[in-house]
Every structure is written in C-alpha cells, then in structure tokens.
Chains A and B, each alone.
Chain A
C-alpha cells in the first residue's frame, strides 16, 4: 500500500505570515489524487485543497496553495496570510483511483501566534 509521510510533527507561524507544511508519498501508480485536510479541535475533518497527479498546475484555494512535484513525490501546502483560525492538525492524504484506498500522513500540528 502507498505510504504518506509528514516529517513535521509541529509547526508554528506568526499571524499574517506564510508557512509551508511538507508531505511526501510513495507510490508506483501514475495517476492518483492528493489532498490536504484540516482537523480543528472540534475533530471534524475539513478538506483544504486537492490535486490530481495528471494536472501539472498547482492547485490554489484562496490563501492555500500546493507545490506538487510529481517526480519527487512531494506535495507541500503553503498557507499565506495565516489567521488564528488556521490553527489545527493538517493531514496530507493519498487516494488511489483503482481501489479508492485513502491513506493519511501522521499529521502536522500548526500553531498560529497572534
């Protein structure tokens, strides 16, 4: 099965600054889907952004953008103009299109300092 690695257990950013969360994955598939989810203290899983491996253009959703490097199997999340409400656990996820197997990284806890 595919594996997803988030090497930063914790990250901290000053309000209004930019932070990048790292994610790498291991797969032999050529097509797949990548996601970033946010889990605030309410424990609800909220989709932040998605990327299909065949799309070369990096996905962007308002203040959130990704740097997708397919050859390096890297999928980092950039949060611009960080807000207090961005404080949460962030999970990187990989979904296989063949059996819908969806795997998550260990998560990064993001703290936003006022």
Chain B
C-alpha cells in the first residue's frame, strides 16, 4: 500500500495549458509539502500545509495554487504553464513532531512543450 501517492507520474502538456497534480497520503500525517526539483536536481520547497492550513508559501508564481480539501490530500494546480515550469514535482508528508522524516511520493515529471 503506497504511503504517499501522486498522480500522474508523467505529464506532457503545451504552454498556456492548466494542469493539476494530485497527492494523497495514507499515513495519518498532519503536514504535507510540495517541492520542485529542477534539472540540476535542486529540491526547492514550494508550499507546506498543516491540517489543511497553509503554513509555508515560498516565492512561487501565483499561477501555482495548492489546495488541501482534507489533511490527507494536497493537490497542486498550475495555470498558464510555461516552459520553465518543466521539472519533477514531489509531494511529501510528515508527522510534524519528533525526528520523524518526510515521506515522499514518486514524483511527477512535468514537461511543458
């Protein structure tokens, strides 16, 4: 049973389109994250939510909008896609206390053409 699952795994789309990536965790964690990994493998935090409340909102274009309908789900919607949005997007979750690590989804490779 997958702990953190993202869909889709691959996404190829044209510039200007709107797309969504879904994330679900079945670990009962309170905190969920979105990270962007660029072509140089740098992992940059985009957003984090704790119990459906937005906690961290990094300097991300407002074309990116996270939505957390409940604490087990954190979706990422991207409007007006640009070439520079091409990257791997990771969803992760953590318990939020102690030295518990973040668990990652398998990533979504987004390619904008």
Contacts and interface: CB of A to CB of B under 8 A. Distances in A.
Chain A at the B interface: SS class = strand
Interface stretch (B63-71, B74-82, B93-101): B93-101
A97 B90 contact: no
Chain B at the A interface: SS class = strand
B112 interface: no
Interface in A11-42: 33, 35, 37, 39
A102 B99 contact: no
B86 interface: no
B91 to A, nearest CB: 11
Interface in B39-57: 40-45, 48, 50, 55-56
19 contacts: A43-B88, A43-B106, A43-B107, A44-B107, A45-B92, A51-B99, A95-B102, A99-B48, A99-B55, A100-B48, A100-B96, A102-B48, A102-B102, A104-B44, A106-B40, A106-B42, A107-B41, A107-B43, A109-B41
B56 A101 contact: yes
Contact of A104 (B43, B101, B106): B43
B31 interface: yes
B94 A101 contact: no
A51 B100 CA distance: 10
B46 to A, nearest CB: 12
B97 A97 contact: yes
B48 A101 contact: yes
Contact of A45 (B31, B90, B94): B90
Contacts of B35: 104
A47 interface: yes
Q: Which has the most chain A C-beta neighbours within 10 Å: B33, B43, B44?
A: B43
A100 B50 contact: yes
Interface string B2-17: 0000000000000000
Contacts of B106: 43-44
Given A43-B88, A44-B106, A45-B90, A101 B99 contact: no
